[in-house]
Homo-oligomer: A and B are copies of this chain.
Amino acid sequence: MRSINLDTLIAAFAGIETITDPHQVAKLSQDYHTFSPVLVPKLEGKVGDIVVRPANEQEVLKVAAICAKYRVPITVRGAGTGNYGQCVPLYGGVIVDMTKMQEILWVKPGVARLEAGVKLAALDKKARDLGWEMRMTPSTYRTATIGGFIAGGSGGIGSIQYGLLGDRGNLLALKVVTLEDEPRVIELRGDDVQKVNHAWGINGIITEVEIPLGPAYPWVEVIVTFDDFMTAAKFGQALGNTDGMIKKLITIFASQIPQYFHALHQYLPGGTHPAFLMVAESSLESLPGLVQQYGGQITYQKPAFEAGKGANLGEFTWNHTTLHARTVDTSITYLQSMFPADPQLQLVEHLYNYFGDEVMMHLEFFRVNGKVIAGALQLVRYTTEKRLNEIIAYHEQQGVLIANPHTYIIEDGGRKVIDPEQLKFKEMVDPYGLMNPGKSKVLQFKIKN
């Protein structure tokens, strides 16, 4: 990059919207890695040289051709809400902002096809008119794009029903633009979608996505409080296991966490451990029986017809919990974990007790390979990187799977290894190694000539 002139690029991009104002470029070189005190210093000062905002596939093809020709690194971004610095360009270059490509191409019963820059909330709004909705959304669904979710997300609200985004069946097709000398458009369907699923923007520029939808149940939001954390956790597991009840969200918080939820204080009596739930209206009548069995108290209930109004429970869960906590106390950071399947949740109990106030337990139940398991986005009172690594290591020793959010290296995060199929596809679509360079161990940064 350093070897070519910015003006050459600007001229080449003529006709496509570009941003060169340094403040704006710097902003569009950021994401939410700021939740990690470890990542912040590592990614400080990393900015792109220019932002392009293609409006359609033709413009994407043109951008790709130019970057390939001049061997310029590119970093694709949607809304930039990712948490691992996936959108931060390590070697400058072109930021490709996809948010202008907002067309919902079609919605049919059970399936939708859309451009990569469509906001998740926009799709949901449109799909609901037909009685459908996204199977799962991150808690950032108001701003996040579908391309960013596919390339950088993992699951969220709805995963208790449909599992994680990477599971077979949750993504039907993708269209990507390659970074070859003569960029092509490739449509991937069936198992082939896995070549790009969760690829952190290193395997082509996603322009279109086809995803299955779930039925848009009228969802009721409920808060249930418990006197004891493990009882709350076991209630969450039991509700998850109740196949006859339809639910979209089962979140359990240790009692230290509700202090960060100002808008909901009146429903969260001090010292209690709350469950935040979304259940289908047709399952609501079955809830009190289960709540009673676990000695819980229903303190809040928002009927489905008020879904758009007031506080939205979903926006206090998944990684929004961390957001709320950090708004009050910036020394807080987080972990991302998956506990082994265990109806007794013994490891959850051990770790809940072991770390006490230093690691505040926040469980998200979701399905993994047919079973309901406890995931967690624990809040951590951060002191030093060393201590954070000790905490992570202890979890791993005990058998907890940690998708480390304190690294920008793909293999050090949730995936551990990049799938060989993805690497093969990478060689084809990005022959010069221009896409999001430096984010992978196996793909050392070295722009090829």
Q: Could you list which residues of chain A lie within 8 angstroms of chain B, going by C-beta atoms?
A: 109-111, 131, 135, 161-164, 167-170, 172-173, 189-191, 212-215, 217-218, 240-246, 280-283, 285-286, 288-290, 367-372
Contacts and interface: CB of A to CB of B under 8 A. Distances in A.
Contacts of A173: 285
19 contacts: A110-B218, A135-B244, A162-B243, A163-B242, A163-B244, A168-B245, A169-B243, A169-B286, A172-B285, A212-B246, A212-B283, A213-B282, A214-B215, A215-B215, A240-B370, A242-B369, A243-B368, A370-B372, A371-B371
Given A242-B370, A370-B372, 8 more contacts: A131-B131, A131-B215, A168-B242, A169-B244, A169-B245, A172-B282, A189-B285, A243-B368
A341 to B, nearest CB: 9
A168 B290 contact: yes
Given A217-B110, A218-B110, A370-B372, A242 B283 contact: no
Given A243-B162, A371-B371, A169 B110 contact: no
B190 A289 contact: yes
Given A110-B217, A110-B280, A131-B131, A370 B285 contact: no
A173 B285 CA distance: 10
A168 B244 contact: yes
B110 A289 contact: no
Nearest to A163: B243
When all copies of this chain in the complex are counted, the total is 2
A212 to B, nearest CB: 4
Contacts of A190: 285-286, 288-289
Given A215-B215, A218-B110, A241 B369 contact: yes
Contacts of A167: 242-244
Contacts of A168: 242, 244-245, 286, 289-290
A370 B241 CA distance: 4
Contacts of A367: 243
Contacts of A110: 217-218, 280-282
Contact of A282 (B111, B191, B241, B288): B111
A290 B168 CA distance: 9
Given A162-B243, A163-B244, A289-B191, A169 B283 contact: yes
Contacts of A111: 282
A403 B172 CA distance: 40
Contacts of A218: 109-110
A284 to B, nearest CB: 10
